[in-house]
Every structure is written in structure tokens, then in C-alpha cells.
Homo-oligomer: A and B are copies of this chain.
Amino acid sequence: MTLSEIKVGLVGLGLMGRSIAVSFLLSGHPLVAIAPIRGEKEEAFDRIRDLLREYLNDNKSTQSLDLYMSALTISEDYSDLAQCSLVLECVVEKMNVKEEVYGKIADVVRKNTVIATNTSAIPIGNLQKFVADPERFIGIHWAEPAYNTRFMEIVCGDQTSIEVVEWVYQLAEQWGKEPILLKKNIRGFVTNRLMYASFREALYLAENGLADKEDIDKCFRYDFGSWMTLMGIFRRLDYEGLKDWAIIFRSILPLLDNSDQVPEIMQRMVESNAKGVQNGIGLYPYTEEEAKIWELKFNQFVKEISSLAEAYPADIVEQKLKNNQ
């Protein structure tokens, strides 16, 4: 079955939802997108078209924008999802909202339609129990912007069937991702655990005046950043020859922050209604123009880093050996 024969559905058209919509359309799926928030429909349609146009321009594609857009239906009516083989939920991270959405989806789709969530915070097992025929429920966790990043976590719940897992994994590869499969129902996903481990330490250092935010960001950009996209951590340790690591582990680990509380800086942010670049109040301040510059720059950067990542694939050695044959 080609992707153009697999109709997919999407519920939720916020920033992430729109970007996932573009990814589905670029992959060739017919797409039904449900805009659950009233009045969101028109804006979402325009924005998806803009993103698609930009992508096609950037990639000097000769494909027609209209052809891609003709595969898209945006609706407020869940019953339009009826013929979908996969429906991805991409709404706010609130259990009760998600529960309601799963009910509405299950009411209209086939019993074997795969229902998936893009959650990055809630354990799949906790959501799975809200879904009729829960063996078809699975986590598909994307990274922004969904049409330009290679990351994808596929997360099973306790009841997810192996057939569903395999089918979604194959789809992910066809979408151009480098999927990661979490067989166990590990809490917190892998990527978030790894990220928040360093976020916690970064916030601790800033909160206690041990380093400035700017300097911490520089560490990430210029030290982590110099190898991260190529290697990941285990490969990096190998590359450095595992030299002196025991000394370093012994001296560093006892210093690290082990708190399980929301860091105070972040607590203060929520009290001041901070939304970062979205309203100019954040860990750094932003004028409206500066916020726009960051959006623009990130969009440019992510394209460049994605091409770079593609030039250095995970199976770099195999590729190289093959080329030499």
C-alpha cells in the first residue's frame, strides 16, 4: 500500500499540529484535520499552505502546491475521520481533554483504526485506558518542525499490539524519520528524560548564581553542539577514548542537582504568565521584532542542521564501507 492510499487523521491544529499536517501531506497521505477550537480552521488552512509553499520553494520542488493542498480537508466534524487508518491526537496536555477527544474519535472510526497521541508528558498507559479497543493505541512523538526533523519516538502502552507497533514503525521510516521504538512503557519517554536531566542542572546553576543563563547557553551551543548531531552520547564517550572518565564521573556526579521539584525560576515564569517568544516574557526578554527574528532564524537553522544530519546518517560506518566496495 502506498502512502497515498492510507488516509490519516489529525486532531488539534496548534503550532505542532500544523507542522505535523505538513509532514503528512508531504509524505503523500490524504489528510483529514479536525480543528477542535472554534475559529481555528481558516487560520490553520492558511498557515499549512504557507509552510508547504515555503518547504517546496526551499527544496526547489516542481510539485504543485495545489495538488498537496487538495489532499487536505480541515473540518470541525469528527465524523469526517470515519475512513482514516490512523488518527493522531495533538491537543493540549490535559488528561480530561484527551479523554474526550479519544471518545469522539472512537465513535466514528473503524475498530481497527490506529489511534495515536503526540503527548510528550503523559504515560501512554494512562491514556490507553480511555480508548475503546486499546491494543490499537500508541504514542507517536514528533519534534518541531515535524516536516523537517528526523526525530520520532514510537511509544507503546502495555496493551499496544505488536502489529500496530510494526505498522507505525514502517510508516515512520517512510516519513523519512529515524524512529526510536520504546517497547516498555517507560515513563517520561527517552528524549525528555535526557533533556530534563540537563535542563534541571542548567536551571540549578542559574538559580544559584553559579553561572549566567547566557554562559550556560553558550556551553550547550559550542560544546555539546560541536558533536551532538553527529554522535550522540555513547559514541562520543567512545570517541574521546573513555579517557579520564572515571575521574570525571566521580568528581561530577556528587555535585549534580537531584531535586524533583519544579525549579524556582520556572515557577516564577508561570506566575508572570511567561510564554517566551510568544508574548515577549521569558527567561530572556523579547520585543515583537526579536521574537520574529528567532522564529525566522530557527526555521533557517533547522533546515541546515537537517541536511547536515542527513549527510551523517546513524549507520555512517556501513554507508562508508559500502561506498568503498
Q: Which residues of chain B are within 8 angstroms of A184 by Cβ–Cβ distance? A: 209-210
Are B270 and A246 touching (Cβ within 8 A)?
A: yes
Instruction: Flag whether A219 is at the interface (Cβ < 8 A).
Output: yes
Interface of A is mostly: helix
Are B216 and A194 touching (Cβ within 8 A)?
A: yes
Residue of B nearest to A201 (CB): B197
- Decide: A193 near B249, CB < 8 A? Known: A228-B221, A276-B240: no
Q: Which residues of chain B are within 8 angstroms of A28 by Cβ–Cβ distance? A: none
Instruction: Flag whether A37 is at the interface (Cβ < 8 A).
Output: no
Are B181 and A255 touching (Cβ within 8 A)?
A: no
Are A222 and B121 touching (Cβ within 8 A)?
A: no
Are A121 and B275 touching (Cβ within 8 A)?
A: no
Q: Interface size bucket, A side? A: 35 or more
> A50 vs B206: C-alpha distance in the bound complex, in angstroms?
41
Instruction: Flag whether A82 is at the interface (Cβ < 8 A).
Output: no
> A306 vs B221: C-alpha distance in the bound complex, in angstroms?
10
- Give per-residue flags for A212-249: 1 if the beta carbon is below 8 A from chain B beta carbons, else 0: 01111111111111111111111101111111111111
> A195 vs B209: C-alpha distance in the bound complex, in angstroms?
19
- Give per-residue flags for A247-271: 1 if the beta carbon is below 8 A from chain B beta carbons, else 0: 1111111111111111100110110
Q: Which residues of chain B are within 8 angstroms of A241 by Cβ–Cβ distance? A: 15, 275-278
Cβ distance A211 to chain B, nearest Cβ, rounded Å: 5
Are B248 and A192 touching (Cβ within 8 A)?
A: yes
Instruction: Flag whether A305 is at the interface (Cβ < 8 A).
Output: yes
- Contact partner of A198 (CB less than 8 A), chosen from B187, B194, B244, B283, is B194
Interfacial residues, chain A to chain B (CB-CB below 8 A): 15, 92-93, 120-122, 143-144, 149-151, 153, 178, 180-182, 184, 186-188, 190-202, 205-206, 209-211, 213-235, 237-263, 266-267, 269-270, 274-278, 282-284, 286, 289-290, 293-294, 297-298, 301-302, 304-306, 308-309, 312, 314, 316-317, 320-321
